[in-house]
Amino acid sequence: MTSTVITNGIRKLRFEHAEMTQQELADRISVTRQTVNAIEAGKYSPSLEVAFRIAKVFALRVDEVFQFAEPARGSRK
Amino acid sequence: MSFREKTAWVTLIALVLVSLMYWLHIPSLFEPHRHGWVLLVLALSLGTFVLIEVIAWLVFYVRNPKETRTPKDEREQIIALKASRISSWVFTAGTFIAIFLTLHLAGAGPVAMGMSVVIAFVLAQVVRQAAIIIYYRRGA
């Protein structure tokens, strides 16, 4: 079975943007702080809409915030 | 702990407490001329459940009004849907078991079937709240 993994650099980007807190980012993209935490930890892959909102906050493209990695066949997440 | 997780805990605890309160009175259903009394216990149990939920919501509102007013975000909606899917299986299985028991057990009438369906419904709701809590705990 082939599974996909989406990684991101949101935590680093937050600190590069005036040490923005998870709550501040959450308020700007209309989700809860817990959801931002889950996205940062790679436990939840956001919808395309939320991904675009996050990218917009940091004035970046979506693929500069999120990276797609396809693990080797046979491995499961 | 998020507002949704806290409300899931409150609902789970309230469900278990109120169900226990209700089911402890069930043996009296089988006594003659006590059907109305059991309906009263059912109404009181439902009232107690609603009261616990309202009081908990008010406490959460006073402590953090903003969090209470915030609508569910996409992750919270997905968690609720996943939990509902699991609980629907429990309810479906419970309902089929209730029908089976009513049809095959001697002396099991419509009252027993109704009670079995209520048990299935309560169990499904307990499973739903437990699933929500587990999903939040896992950070999914």
Please write the tens of the pLDDT for every residue from B87-100. 999 999 999 888 88
Number of CB atoms found within 10 A of residue B95's CB: 16
In CATH, which superfamily holds the domain spanning A5-68? Answer: lambda repressor-like DNA-binding domains (1.10.260.40)
pTM assigned to the model: 0.80
The pLDDT tens digits of the residues spanning B106-132 come to: 666 777 777 788 889 999 999 999 999
> Using an 8 Å Cβ cutoff, are A50 and B74 in contact?
yes
Q: Which residue of A has its CA nearest to B139?
A: A38
Instruction: State the average pLDDT over residues A26-45.
Output: 91
Among A23, A29, A34, the strongest candidate for a mutation testing the B interface, having the largest count of B CBs within 10 A, is A34
C-beta pairs of B86-92 under 8 Å, 24+ apart in sequence: B86/B127, B86/B128, B86/B131, B87/B124, B87/B125, B87/B127, B87/B128, B87/B131, B88/B124, B90/B120, B90/B123, B90/B124, B90/B127, B91/B120, B91/B121, B91/B123, B91/B124
- Helix or strand holding residue A67 (H, E): strand A66-69
Per-residue pLDDT band at A2 (split at 50, 70, 90)? very low
Domain ranges (residues) in chain A: 5-68
Tell me the shortest Cα–Cα distance from A10 to chain B, in angstroms.
Answer: 17
Residue B46: name the closest of B81, B64, B19 by CA.
Answer: B19
ipTM above 0.85, yes or no: no
Per-residue pLDDT band at B32 (split at 50, 70, 90)? low
Query: If you count residue pairs, one on A and one on B, with CB atoms under 8 Å apart, how many are there?
Result: 33
Residues of chain B found within 8 Å of residue A33, distances taken between Cβ atoms: 2
Instruction: State the average pLDDT over residues B53-57.
Output: 93
Percent of chain A with pLDDT over 90: 58
Among A23, A29, A44, the strongest candidate for a mutation testing the B interface, having the largest count of B CBs within 10 A, is A44
Percent of chain A with pLDDT over 70: 86
Whether B133 has its CB under 8 Å from any CB of chain A: the answer is: no
Residue B129: name the closest of B89, B82, B92 by CA.
Answer: B82
> Using an 8 Å Cβ cutoff, are A64 and A7 in contact?
no
- Helix or strand holding residue B45 (H, E): helix B35-63
Check residue A5 and report its DSSP letter.
E
Cα angle: B135, vertex B72, B45; to 5 degrees? 75
Q: Which residue of A has its CA nearest to B70?
A: A32
